[in-house]
């Protein structure tokens, strides 16, 4: 009965010392006041996607995620002979920031399903963002492939996504990401560490329907600024057509997510 006498003691104390307003709180059935400061939910940390089966790309080794981008452009190929698989000679793409669309990170976050198929949506519902050749050749206007930077409006998003830069292969055939739209002017010159096939249900492209290019892990070739690692994931389209002639060029529309990390 010790608790009962303690209760009596505290009740008496409350009655004798508390203000009238305070006295009402001495009724022990009144619920404990809830904490009025709202605790923010634990921050969601984006997780690098996997293809769902088979060998996966190596992880980011503790590197820090800086951006998730969507890229839209072309994969370029050349042919050595008829009936062979075309050889990749690089790519050209415009890049926009979609970090805030990752599920659970912001008020503009997409559902997981919409985020994972966002590249397919961009491929199918937005225009090719490059200056294309106007003569009889295929592909981009090689002298000036990129139009002036512009944010991209995508159906269903409350705001345009921010232009962040360009992806191209430089004169030494090095995959390059020039993130001129980032505050600190990041520049990545990469080398391919590994590639794995896109998931079987990836968007195979629409004109032509050739399949989604591989997922990739690219590490710093040594001269990058502010970026140490780039992954290409959630690819849509971009694979070559079978060659019809030696010397033939191909430029195949594609989109991909690029995950940009710094050491
Ligand atoms: C506390 O208040 C409730 C209703 O407000 C009342 O039913 C109950 O008897 C009170 N308890 C005590 C210990 O005063
Ligand atoms: C009330 O919220 C603050 C801020 O989140 C927290 O530090 C404190 O521990 C909370 N107190 C209780 C009783 O939950
Ligand atoms: C194909 O891509 C390469 C690498 O970025 C680029 O240098 C070249 O101009 C492109 N060619 C065409 C025709 O788009």
Instruction: List pLDDT tens digits, range 135-166.
Output: 878 899 999 999 999 999 999 999 999 999 99
Question: Is 27 a pocket residue for ligand 1 (Cβ < 6 Å)?
Answer: yes
Residue 77 in contact with residue 240, Cβ under 8 Å?
A: yes
Ligand number nearest CA of 74 is 3
**Per-residue pLDDT, 128:** 97
Which spans in the chain are helix H?
A: 2-17, 20-23, 112-116, 118-125
Pocket test for ligand 3, best of 71, 93, 169 (most atoms within 8 A of CB): 169
Q: Which is the closest atom of ligand 2 to the Cα of 35?
A: 1
**Per-residue pLDDT, 14:** 46
Domain of residue 144, residue span: 64-262
Ligand 2 geometric centre to CA of 40 (Å): 11
The protein residue whose alpha carbon is closest to atom 7 in ligand 1 is 29
> Is residue 41 situated within a structural domain?
no
The pLDDT tens digits along the chain (263 residues) read 455 554 554 454 444 444 444 555 555 666 666 766 777 767 789 999 999 999 999 999 899 999 999 999 999 999 999 999 999 999 999 999 999 999 999 999 999 999 999 999 999 999 999 999 998 788 999 999 999 999 999 999 999 999 999 999 999 999 999 999 998 889 999 999 999 999 999 999 998 999 999 999 999 999 999 999 999 999 999 999 999 999 999 999 999 999 999 99
Distance between CA atoms of 27 and 148, rounded to whole angstroms? 70
Distance between CA atoms of 189 and 227, rounded to whole angstroms? 9
> Is residue 182 situated within a structural domain?
yes
pTM (predicted TM-score): 0.78
Ligand 3 geometric centre to CA of 169 (Å): 8
> Is residue 57 situated within a structural domain?
no
Give the closest residue to 236 by CA, choosing from 59, 116, 60. 116
Ligand 2 geometric centre to CA of 12 (Å): 29
**Per-residue pLDDT, 20:** 45
Tokens of residue 106, six digits: 């912001």
> Is residue 121 situated within a structural domain?
yes
> Is residue 95 situated within a structural domain?
yes
As for how many domains the chain has, the answer is: 1
Distance between CA atoms of 177 and 167, rounded to whole angstroms? 5
> Is residue 15 situated within a structural domain?
no
**Per-residue pLDDT, 29:** 63
> Is residue 37 situated within a structural domain?
no
Ligand 2 geometric centre to CA of 20 (Å): 27
Distance between CA atoms of 201 and 211, rounded to whole angstroms? 10
Ligand 3 pocket by C-beta < 6 Å: which residues?
A: 74, 76, 90-92, 139-140, 142, 168-169, 251
């Amino acid at each position: 009965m010790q608790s009962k006498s303690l209760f009596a003691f505290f009740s008496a104390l409350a009655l004798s010392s508390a203000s009238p307003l305070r006295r009402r709180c001495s009724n022990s059935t009144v619920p404990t006041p809830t904490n009025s400061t709202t605790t923010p939910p634990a921050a969601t940390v984006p997780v690098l996607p996997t293809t769902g089966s088979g060998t996966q790309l190596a992880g980011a080794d503790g590197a820090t995620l800086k951006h998730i981008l969507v890229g839209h452009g072309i994969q370029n190929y050349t042919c050595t002979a008829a009936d062979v698989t075309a050889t990749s000679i690089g790519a050209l793409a415009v890049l926009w920031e979609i970090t805030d669309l990752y599920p659970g990170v912001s008020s503009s976050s997409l559902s997981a399903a919409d985020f994972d198929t966002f590249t397919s949506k961009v491929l199918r519902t937005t225009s090719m963002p490059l200056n294309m050749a106007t003569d009889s050749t295929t592909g981009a206007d090689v002298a000036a492939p990129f139009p002036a930077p512009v944010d991209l409006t995508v159906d269903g998003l409350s705001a345009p996504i921010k232009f962040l830069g360009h992806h191209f292969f430089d004169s030494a055939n090095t995959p390059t990401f020039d993130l001129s739209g980032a505050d600190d002017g990041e520049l990545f010159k990469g080398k391919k560490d590994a590639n794995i096939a896109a998931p079987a249900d990836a968007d195979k492209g629409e004109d032509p329907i050739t399949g989604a290019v591989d997922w990739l892990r690219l590490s710093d070739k040594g001269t990058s600024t502010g970026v140490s690692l780039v992954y290409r994931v959630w690819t849509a389209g971009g694979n070559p057509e079978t060659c019809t002639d030696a010397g033939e060029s191909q430029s195949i529309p594609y989109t991909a997510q690029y995950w940009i990390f710094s050491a």
